[in-house]
Structure formats: structure tokens, C-alpha cells
Structure 1
């Protein structure tokens, strides 16, 4: 455990040495929420949305988008860069095991993404009166499951990509369909039945619906919990299987 904590602290310091990554993962989500909230139409209740406003729907979507940015831009690219530059090869000569390195990456990304989530919720509440989750434990469960699923996918990309640039390219290709089915362009409530069904079986589609359910005061649906756990186990298992030091 001490090795895990030390590696996590080191990874956190290295994370803050990349200003562009820090901006897009920590700063961009709340800025985007502010831009969307500044649109007057997004602050008006809609009968077709059950009396909710568009900005109410976008708060959990942007929280989920933050997870995708961490997993598919920051996490996978930094990890693959370590392999490319020989950092992992040098670590191989130490007692550090692959699962400890993977765990440190996951822990650091989880902590940083939680900070982003709290900032987004604070901006939404203070600036646009977006309601906070009525079922906080359920919200945390949905968030953690979505984070684990996305980070497992990010680590899988990092484990198989030969370079940091290729990891970034793969992550970018995955980012857009993932956030589309999370509702970034078309909120889930406005999707047709086919798109919503596909969304239910994606990690962020299931995650966004779980966050919305918790905000309304309900626990996540079993289907969405199973989907997120499934993505975590499959992608995480493959990441551990194909992990390479160099």
C-alpha cells in the first residue's frame, strides 16, 4: 500500500506539469457548463422534458464528459508516453508490480475527476440553480462505477498503444462516440428508442442515466449497474493481460 500511495503522489505531481491536460480535464467541463447555462433557452422549463430545463440535463452529462476526458485523453496518453520514454522499463527493475502502477494511475485519475465533478456541481448550483443530487449515496455509486469503467478503457488503450501519440489518437477516436451516447449532442431524454437502447449499453450512457436517477432521488437501475461493472471487468482484465513494460 505504501508503494501505491507514493506512486499516486508522484503521478499527481506529474499530472500538474502538463498545463494543457490540466486545463481540458479540470477546467473545460465547468467552463462548458457555464457557456451552455448562458443560453437563455437552456434555462427555461420544457414540458417535453417533464418540467426540467436543458441545463438540468447537461450537468450530469458534463460530469460524465469529464470522466471521458480523463480516461481517453489524459490517462491513456500519459501512461503510453511513460512506456515510450522508457519510464516503465526502468520501473521494471524495481519491486513495483504492474497492478500497483495501474492502481496508482486509477487512484490519481479518480481523485482528480472527483474534483472536477464537485466544481461542475457547484457551478451548476450557484450559477444556474441546478438541483443537487437528492440521493447522494446513489450518485456516488453511479459516479464511481462510471469512473471505473472509463478508466479501465483508458488503461486498455494505454496498455496496447505503442506510443503516446497513438494512444492519444485512439483515445480521441473513442471519445466522440462515447460522449455522443452519453448525451453531449443529443441528451438521452431526446434520443429515439434505438439510440437510447444503444446508450444504455455504453459505459457513459449507463453512467449518465445513473447520475440522473440519483439526482431525481432514485438508485441506479440494475441494467446500468451491470453494464458499468461489465465494462470495468472486461476492459480492466484486458488491460492487465496486455500490460507491457516496453
Structure 2
């Protein structure tokens, strides 16, 4: 645990030297929903969304966006850059093991997501009256499950990508279709039923569904929880097994 704590602290110190990444990952979702909320029709209740407003629905979607940006692009690129620069090779001579290193990245990135989520609800609550989740505990659980499911995929990318550019390219390829299925371009509620069913089995959409349900006071549904835990079990274990120091 001592080694793990030092790894997490080191990641924060390193990130503070390059605040652009921290700012983009944490603030871009907030900026996006502020822009969306500025559209008058998005602040009106919609029958297609069960009486919710578009800006209410997008509160969870932009948090999913933050998870995707950090989990599929930021984290894998950072770890792959460490490998490319020989930092991982030097770490291999220390007591650090792959599980501790990957876990520290997961913890660091999860904290960024939580901070971004707090900013989203604070800013939208003040500007547009977006309510806090009716079930805060369920919402927190939904965020945690979404993080572990999506980040498991990102950790596998980081474990095998030979360079930062390769990791970023792989993450980018996955980012756009997963965000589409999670409802970034159009809320999932207005997508065809077959697309929604496909989305239920993708990590980002499963996480967004849990967050959306928590916003209305519902507890996590079994399908989404099973899907996200399954991604952790399959991709997380694969990441630990296939991890290369150099």
C-alpha cells in the first residue's frame, strides 16, 4: 500500500507539471454542457426524454465523456509514453509490480473523473438548475462501475501499445463509436431500439445508463452492472497478464 500511495502521488505531481491535460480532461465536459444549456430548447422538458430536459440528460453523458477521454486516450497514452521513454524499464527494477502500477493509474484517473463530475453538477446546477441525482449513492456507484469498465479497456491498450502515438490512435478509434452508443451525439432514448440493445453491452453506454437511472432515483440494473464487471474481469486481467515493461 505504501508503494501504491507513492505511485498515485507521483502521477499527480507529474500531471501538475503538464496542466493542459488536467484542464482539458476536467473542464472540457463542463464547457460542453454549458454550451448545450445555452440553447433555449434544450432547457425545455421533452416528451421523448420522459419529461426531462436535454441539459438534464447530458449531465450524465458529459461525465461519460470525461471517463472516455481519460480512460481511453489520456491514461493509455501516458503509460505507453512511459514505456517508450524507458521509465517502465527502470520501474521494473523496483518493488513495483504491474498490478500496482496499473492500479495507481486507475486511482489517479478515477479521482480526475470524480472532480470533473463535481464541477459538472455545480456549474449546471447554478446556471440551469440541473438537479443533483435523486439517489447520490447509486450515482456514485454508477460512476465507479463506469470507470472500472472503461478503464479496464484503456489499461489493456496501455499494456500492449508500443508507443504513445499507437495508444492514442487505438483509443481514438474506440472513442467515437463508444461515445455515439453512450448518447453523446443524440440521447440514447431517441436512438432505434436495436442500437440501444447493442449499446447495453458496451462499457461506456452501460455506465451512462446507470448514471441516468441514478439521476431519477433508480438503483443499478443487473445487466449494466454485469457488463461492467465483465469488462473488468476480462480486460483488466488481460492487461495485467500482457503488461510489458519495455
Q: What is the TM-score when the length of structure 2 is the normalising length?
A: 0.98
Q: Displacement, 1:113?
A: 1.1
Distance 2:127 2:210 in 1: 24
**Aligned match of 1:2:** 2
**Aligned match of 1:147:** 147
What are the residue-to-residue correspondences of 1:74-93 with 2, within 5 Å?
A: 74-93=74-93
Is the counterpart of residue 109 in structure 1 residue 109 in structure 2? Answer: yes
Is the counterpart of residue 37 in structure 1 residue 37 in structure 2? Answer: yes
**Aligned match of 1:183:** 183
- Structure 1 segments unaligned to the other structure (5+ residues): none
After superposition, the C-alpha distances for 1:85-136 in whole angstroms (9 at most, x for unaligned) are 0000001111111111111111111111110111011112111111111111
Distance 1:68 1:48 in 2: 26
| 8 Å Cα contact 1:153-1:236 kept in structure 2 | yes
- Residue aligned with 2:17, SS: coil
**Aligned match of 1:118:** 118
- Residue aligned with 1:219, SS: coil
| 8 Å Cα contact 1:24-1:69 kept in structure 2 | no
Which stretches of structure 1, 4 residues or longer, exceed 4 Å deviation after superposition? none
80-89 or 9-18, larger mean C-alpha shift: 9-18
Q: Displacement, 1:17?
A: 2.2
- Structure 2 segments unaligned to the other structure (5+ residues): none
After superposition, the C-alpha distances for 1:54-94 in whole angstroms (9 at most, x for unaligned) are 11111100011100001112100000000000000001111
What are the residue-to-residue correspondences of 1:155-174 with 2, within 5 Å?
A: 155-174=155-174
Q: Displacement, 1:48?
A: 2.2
After superposition, the C-alpha distances for 1:197-235 in whole angstroms (9 at most, x for unaligned) are 011111111111111111101101100110111111111
Is the counterpart of residue 128 in structure 1 residue 121 in structure 2? Answer: no
Q: What is the TM-score when the length of structure 1 is the normalising length?
A: 0.98
Is the counterpart of residue 220 in structure 1 residue 228 in structure 2? Answer: no
The CA RMSD measured in Å over matched residues stands at 0.9
Q: Displacement, 1:137?
A: 1.1
41-50 or 143-152, larger mean C-alpha shift: 41-50
Q: Displacement, 1:143?
A: 0.7
| 8 Å Cα contact 1:57-1:187 kept in structure 2 | yes
Distance 2:198 2:126 in 1: 34
Distance 1:48 1:152 in 2: 33
